[in-house]
Amino acid sequence: MAQSSGELLLQPHTYPGRLIIVEGIDGSGKSTQIRLVQRWLTSLGYNVFFTEWNSAELVKKTTKKGKKNRSLTPTTFSLLHATDFAHRLVSNILPPLKAGMIVLADRYVYTAYARDHVRGCDRDWVRKVYRYAPKPDIAFYFKVPIEVSLKRITMTRQILKDFEAGMDLNLHPDPIESFRLFQGMILEEYDRMTAESGFVVIDAARNIADQQKQVRAVIETSLGTYSRKPRIA
């Protein structure tokens, strides 16, 4: 599959650190896996920094307010997350990468690529918005069937969040059915991006231990002779 113009702008970084990210639909278990990786690498003596999507406090408050009153257009929603990512990149990703640390990111630009397009934004436009983002050293994609993700989420809470279920898109009046439709479209976008973005696909329907074993094997191979002691670039 040919890469889009925006995707070509996502270049490998030259920093001494390593950037490892996880992606997947809601309920895929990606956050659990990246936290396990954090504990594991820290126990081995690596200098690790963790960061997650939509973490800038000001942007988070604005997004939450916009979600509540349904006042966000797809483009506004996209640009808010892009603002959050820019802050996150400058404050939480580049400094530790330059210092030679391992940065673990719970969701990266691919979250925007998938969700923003499903909500109506042009694919190439979204990629161009994030064209300055450094390419991860490893990008794990936790692929899981919709029904499995839905079961996991509803086991922990009875009510689905509106935007999690895509209720703002008016796909279906029932939140469960809307979730299936919305997350299904996001799943298709991730599948579409797998080859062009070099995702390491993990079968997220398997048990946690087996997934983590595969993830660690990939990381160990990738790190190679990487030093546990950070170096200032």
Q: Classify domain 15-223 at the CATH class level.
A: alpha beta
What pLDDT was estimated at residue 63?
A: 67
Mean pLDDT to the nearest integer, 91-103? 95
Q: How confident is the model at residue 7 (pLDDT cuts 50, 70, 90)?
A: very low
Q: Which residue has the tokens 């990468």?
A: 97
Asked whether the predicted pLDDT for residue 10 surpasses 80, the reply is no
Given a contact cutoff of 8 angstroms between Cβ atoms, the answer to whether 204 and 211 are in contact is: yes
Given a contact cutoff of 8 angstroms between Cβ atoms, the answer to whether 124 and 150 are in contact is: no
DSSP assignment of 31-49: HHHHHHHHHHHHHTT--EE
User: Which of 38, 63, 25 lies closest to 187, judged by CA?
Assistant: 25
Q: Output 197 or 59, whichever has higher pLDDT.
A: 197
- Over residues 40-65, the pLDDT tens digits come to 999 999 999 999 987 666 666 666 66
What pLDDT was estimated at residue 55?
A: 66
Q: Count Cβ atoms below 10 Å from residue 210 Cβ, excluding itself.
A: 11
For 6-10, 43-47, 61-65, 129-133, which range has the lowest pLDDT when averaged over its residues?
A: 6-10
Q: Output 203 or 9, whichever has higher pLDDT.
A: 203
**Average pLDDT score, the chain:** 88
Query: Is the CA virtual torsion 220, 226, 227, 228 positive or negative?
Result: negative
All structural domains of the chain with their residue ranges = 15-223
Q: How confident is the model at residue 5 (pLDDT cuts 50, 70, 90)?
A: very low
Q: Which residue has the tokens 């895509």?
A: 166
Residue spans of beta strands (DSSP E) within 69-151: 102-106, 138-143
d(CA 43, CA 175): 41
Query: Is the CA virtual torsion 32, 35, 41, 42 positive or negative?
Result: negative
